[in-house]
Amino acid sequence: MNIHAIGAIYRFEMARTGRTLLQSVVSPVLSTSLYFIVFGSAIGSHMNAIDGVTYGAFIVPGLIMLALLTQSITNAAFGIYFPRFVGTIYEVLSAPVSFVEITLGYVGAAATKSIVLGLIILATSTLFVPVQVLHPVWMVGFLVLTAVTFSLFGFIIGIWADGFEKLQMIPLLIVTPLTFLGGSFYSIDMLPPFWRSVTLFNPVVYLISGFRWSFFGVSDVNIALSLGMTLAFLVACLVAVWWIFKTGYRLKS
Amino acid sequence: MQPILSVQNVSKTYEGGFVALKNVSLDLSQGEIFALLGPNGAGKTTLISIICGLVNMTEGRIAVAGHDIVADYRAARELIGLVPQELKTDSFETVWATVSFSRGLFGKKRNDAYIEKVLRDLSLWDKKDSKIMTLSGGMKRRVLIAKALSHEPRVLFLDEPTAGVDVELRRDMWRLVSALRAAGVTIILTTHYLEEAEEMADRIGVIRKGELILVEEKTALMRKFGQKRLTIQLTAPLAAVPPALAGHGLELAPGGQALIYAYGTTNGSHAPVSALFHDLDQAGLAYKDLDTEQSTLEDIFVDLMRGE
């Protein structure tokens, strides 16, 4: 294992975050705070409690998940796409590193950034609403698992994309709508039966449900199913990354 | 002695059917400077890219110091440094950060003293905290060389390293190349400045349409393919080459004031020249001056390319 290489890629990516602190951390925290003010305080004060949880607190896990998913994908996608775009990827591809080490460096850094961001948003939320975490170990587990899985997904997008438009396409057109429709701001039990069934095809439902369970002990779907779906997506992403490096897709000719 | 780089029967066909390399074989010894020459699109960069792991070969085998570049890629790549043709740099990074990153990427422990030495050797030390985007093109080229040297490679590829750089920097680079060779580093360079290859290289390889058509010691190449041209300035103009000198293949210069004698340098023999002067005396031709020119590598290269 080329530990120095993993460390070099990881530090390089983390340093990029330091340079773009406003975009990487301040911007998502600000937008999440606005969600709390609008949905949590202004609208939430007129909403009934859901499963015994005030609406303001109920949306906390969903908002963290929303930021976690989009930031994991964006960070990892940009991290690998930018060197491809400017051509500096030649150095990584000619270095004595395996695809596992390259992935660990890039995805590890992207996941770290997302986890830190998620924790900052959690801390920020306590300024607006009282938040309890019933199962802190599971909460951290879901946070890490989701950050890693979606950073892997972003890494795949960053390799697949051949332009900035494509880089933004999946996070904006697929992930954000799925997150909004995945129960970030409501319990899927509040939906009519037909739409509840449709929603169960949305993988984000399982992430948010599991994560919310770790906070309040209530969930839309079974916790084991949530965990299983997240792990299944993780395995699918790992297989895709393995195939990319095996074939050199978009990386080598 | 085991070659530091062994390329055996390497071929590359890109998707779409373009054949970039055809059965290329080449062995390089440690510490030599090898110049790979060829027109644009001949396959130079493809060959370098395959050796460095950037392009997959279709057939063949390559080993660096005995390490197969596919089966034992870690050991092989640790020994290789690459300076690419294009200026591919991280614009927002500092010089120090990007060179340190390269060292780590190639599996080497942090060594600030070594990085400092590399930066000083390349006159980059006073720019170590500058962002790369603020540097001139020549300085960016130095940064790429510093990155390639950061992990102490034993084989260094310089793909058009002096393209678009000023004369001073070019001379600095060749000084560096000499120092690296003295330290036992094998250098493979491609260049369009053939006088550089002529001055620096130990051996020359010429690649044309994906085929390595020639690999020679530079001095042997100059002897084998080079020509000398002797111009004999006559005291009185001639209307035609005298029949007595017809056997020498002389050419009469425009105006008839000089005779031009072109001869090969294959065996270094001067016998033909002495025979010519003997016959000139016999023909009673008087001459007032002599001038000789020898083919440059550029002339040889152009002749080889015309021979397709």
* B59-64 β-sheet, strand order: B19-28, B5-13, B59-64, B67-68
Collect all residues of chain A within an 8 Å Cβ-Cβ radius of residue B54.
90, 93-94, 252
| CA A252 – CA A245 distance, rounded (Å) | 9
Q: Which fold does the domain B226-306 belong to in CATH?
A: Alpha-Beta Plaits (3.30.70)
Task: Name which of B61, B74, B84, B72 is nearest B5 in CA terms.
Answer: B61
3-class SS at B81? strand
Tokens (6 digits) for B197? 């290859």
Tell me if A90 and B106 make a contact (CB, 8 A cut-off).
no
Partner residue opposite A96 with nearest CB, options B15, B55, B74: B74
Interface test with A, best of B105, B110, B143 (most A CBs within 10 A): B105
Q: What is the pLDDT of residue A155?
A: 94
* Pairwise CA distance, residues A72 & A70, whole Å: 6
* Residues in chain A closer than 8 A to B82 (CB atoms): 90-91, 94
Distance from CA of B77 to the nearest CA of A (A): 5
Residue A131: C-alpha distances to residues A47, A126, A127 (Å): 17, 6, 9
The sign of the dihedral angle between the CA atoms of B71, B75, B76, B77 is positive
Percent of chain A at pLDDT above 90? 38
Residue with tokens 């701001």: A185
Q: Write out B146-169 in H/E/C secondary structure.
A: HHHHCCCCCEEEEECCCCCCCHHH
Q: Hey, how many other C-beta atoms are within 10 angstroms of the C-beta on B172?
A: 19
pLDDT at position B62 is 96
Which residues in A lie closer than 8 A to residue B143 (C-beta atoms)?
none
The predicted pLDDT at position A180 comes to 83
Which residue of B15, B53, B107 is in closest CB contact with A94? B53
CA distance A28 to A171: 14
Confirm if B221 and B300 have CB atoms less than 8 A apart: yes
Smallest Cβ distance to A8: which of B53, B73, B105?
A: B105
Cβ–Cβ gap B106/A95 under 8 Å: yes
CA distance A150 to A74: 9
The tokens for A66 are 């929303």
**Is the confidence at residue A149, as pLDDT, over 70?**
yes
Nearest to A90 among B73, B84, B108 (CB): B84
In the prediction, which pLDDT does B71 show?
Answer: 92
| DSSP bridge partners of B228 | B263, B294
Confidence of residue B265 (pLDDT cuts 50, 70, 90): low
In a domain, A74, yes or no: yes
Overall domain count for chain A: 1
pLDDT band at B122 (very low <50, low <70, confident <90, very high): confident
pLDDT of residue B79: 95
Query: Is the CB of residue A230 less than 8 Å from the CB of residue A68?
Result: no
Nearest C-alpha neighbor of A200 from the set A220, A173, A224: A220
| CATH 3.40.50.300 domain locations along chain B | 5-222
Our CA angle for A70, A49, A28, nearest 5°, is: 20
**What average pLDDT is seen over chain B?**
87
Q: What is the pLDDT of residues A159-213, one digit of tens each?
A: 999 888 888 888 888 888 888 888 888 888 888 888 888 888 888 889 888 999 9
Q: Where are the alpha helices (DSSP H) in chain A?
A: 3-19, 21, 27-35, 55-86, 89-93, 99-125, 136-160, 164-170, 176-180, 193-199, 203-216, 223-247
Per DSSP, B94 falls in state: B
**Model confidence at A31: pLDDT above 90:** no
What residues does B261 pair with on adjacent strands? Answer: B230
Confidence at B22, pLDDT banded by 50, 70, 90: very high
Find residue A97's DSSP bridge partners.
none
Taking one residue from A and the other from B, the number of pairs with CB-CB distance under 8 angstroms is 81
First to last CA, chain B: 35
Q: For residues B153 and A192, what is the distance between their CA atoms, to the nearest angstrom?
A: 66
Residue span of the structural domain in which A7 resides: 3-247
B129 in Cβ contact with B95 (< 8 Å): yes
Q: Is the pLDDT of residue A139 over 50?
A: yes
pLDDT at A94: 93
Taking the C-alpha atoms of residue A101 and residue A99, their distance in angstroms, rounded to an integer, is 5
pLDDT (tens digit per residue) in B59-92? 999 999 999 999 999 999 999 999 998 888 888 8
Q: Residue A15: its chain B contacts at CB < 8 A? A: 93, 97
Query: Which residue out of A94, A104, A246, A251 would a mutagenesis test of the B interface target, given it has the greatest number of B Cβ atoms within 10 Å?
Result: A94
Instruction: List, edge to edge, every strand of the sheet that includes B227-234.
Output: B251-252, B258-264, B227-234, B287-294
Q: Which residue of B has its CA nearest to A96?
A: B74
The residues pairing with B258 across neighbouring beta strands, listed in sequence order, are: B233
Quick check: A195 contacting B, CB < 8 Å? no
- Tell me the mean pLDDT in the region A44-56: 80
The partner residue sitting opposite A19, judged by closest CB among B55, B92, B108, is B92
Q: Which fold has domain B5-222?
A: Rossmann fold (3.40.50)
Residue B269 clears pLDDT 50, i.e. is over it = no
| Inter-chain residue contact A88 with B89, CB threshold 8 Å | yes
Q: Which residues of A touch B86 (CB under 8 A)?
A: 87
Using CA atoms, how far residue A132 sits from A61, A126, A146, A184, B170, in Å, is 11, 9, 20, 17, 66
Domain-located, residue A253: no
Residues of B with Cβ-Cβ distance to A90 under 8 angstroms: 52, 54, 82, 84, 88
Q: How far, in Å, are B11, B17, B37, B198, B305 from residue B40 at the CA level?
A: 18, 19, 10, 19, 12
d(CA A144, CA B216): 59
Query: What is the per-residue burial (b if ≥16 Cβ within 10 Å, else e) of B204-235?
Result: bbbbbebbbebbbebeebbeebbbeebbbebe
- Over residues B101-120, the pLDDT tens digits come to 999 999 999 999 999 999 99
Tell me the residues of chain A between 212 and 251 that have a Cβ less than 8 Å away from chain B.
248
Average pLDDT for A37-66: 82
Instruction: Tell me what pLDDT residue B272 has.
Output: 67
Asked if residue A245 lies in contact with residue A160, where contact means CB atoms within 8 angstroms, the answer is: no
> Which stretches of B56-136 are DSSP H helices?
73-78, 95-105, 112-121
**Percent of chain B topping pLDDT 90:** 44
Mean pLDDT of A130-154: 92
Between A52 and B272, the more confident residue is A52
